[in-house]
Amino acid sequence: MHALVERLKQKDIRALARAITMVENDHPEKLELLHAVFSMQKHAIYVGLTGSPGAGKSSLVNRLIAEIRATGKTVAVIAVDPTSPFSGGALLGDRVRMNEHFTDDGVYIRSMATRGSLGGLARATKDAVRICDAFGFDVIIVETVGVGQSELDIMKIVDTTAVVLTPNSGDVLQIFKAGIMEIADLFVINKADLHGVGKLRALLRELVMMTADKDRERAIVKTISTENKGIDKLWQEILAHHNFLYETKEGKSRRDDQQQLEVYELIREEIWREVKQFVEANEESRPIRAGQDPYQLAKDWFEKWKQEGRCPQDGGK
Ligand SMILES: Nc1nc2c(ncn2[C@@H]2O[C@H](COP(=O)(O)OP(=O)(O)O)[C@@H](O)[C@H]2O)c(=O)[nH]1
Ligand SMILES: [Mg+2]
């Protein structure tokens, strides 16, 4: 472990890949690694791009990489596909679209896929972002398909979430239903070369007003990633939102809330792990069967764990 951390400090790219694989696989020494990594963080700019498949997220990321590199900053991209159990499929397409940056040392592209639970993927992605930060990348971009709860969790990792929509696709409704609207910090109308841009923009404006944020109005940016149009504006808006978070009182309190949520989440995970272990250790004598009242069972087991399980003989491990 110590050796791996040292190699990360030396900016060994293979150590970076290895470290991310460790969090992806929930390696037993993961927490030790993350603890070391946490103090190495340099606080990069964390950006998330979400939206329906085919909206043009990967094409946008590819253009953003060029835009960011032109300012001298380095970029890591984490492409997450919760719908795919393998790092193939859609991500293969992403690789092709981001191909031109493969020989650039200032760019690192990594895909992550579901190994265990979706919740686990969100956690692993967050850890991967921190590892990339500790490694020294200036900007970290997370790309994910916006379809459900796991994407919401994944997007909680980043500071600035951009929701990518396209004209005439009906994806606004889908994204609205999935609750993605609430986590959007800015909207991107990509494929602005297609018909229906005005209509989508009007709809988004309405939504932005309806769900008005008292601290800051959310921007709507038009892009044509195939023609490299609007990318500079998109990057400016990302930076503006980042500045809001880090330079204003409202932004600070928002980050505090975020931090609190993360701590609660980690506590929940720990408790869950312990209660589950306790139940499983007792299951043989008191099995859980189909058809039993789950509410009562959950209550009973939790009570039993509080009384007997919290101070087990092995010191709470
Ligand atoms: N007309 C048009 N097509 C685009 C634009 N941006 C991306 N595309 C195309 O949309 C398709 C899906 O793009 P991709 O970046 O893979 O979408 P993702 O699934 O959201 O990552 C590709 O064929 C792109 O070439 C755009 O601004 N205009
Ligand atoms: Mg993609």
Q: Is 191 in the pocket of ligand 1 (CB under 6 A)?
A: yes
Of ligand 1's listed atoms, the one at least distance from the Cα of 164 is: 20
All structural domains of the chain with their residue ranges: 41-247, 260-309
The residues, ordered by sequence, that sit 6+ positions from 155 with a Cβ below 8 Å of its Cβ are 48, 50, 142, 144, 161, 180, 183
User: Tokens 């696709």 belong to which residue?
Assistant: 169
Strand ranges for 83-185 from DSSP E: 107-113, 139-145, 160-165
Eight-class DSSP state of 1: -
Q: Domain 41-247 belongs to what topology?
A: Rossmann fold (3.40.50)
Eight-class DSSP state of 166: -
* 315 has pLDDT over 50: no
- 266-288 tens-digit pLDDT: 788 788 888 988 999 998 888 88
Cα(124) to centroid of ligand 2, in Å? 19
Mutate to test the pocket of ligand 1, among 78, 151, 190, 225 (most ligand atoms within 8 A of CB): 225
User: Is residue 162 within 8 Å of 234, Cβ to Cβ?
Assistant: yes
Cα(90) to centroid of ligand 2, in Å? 6
What the block records as the tokens of 37 is 């990594």
> What is the pTM (predicted TM-score) of this model?
0.84
Q: How far apart are CA 121 and CA 117, in angstroms?
A: 7
Give the model's confidence band at 229: pLDDT under 50 very low, under 70 low, under 90 confident, else very high. very high
Strand ranges for the chain from DSSP E: 45-51, 75-81, 107-113, 139-145, 160-165, 186-189, 219-222
- 132-144 tens-digit pLDDT: 999 999 999 999 8
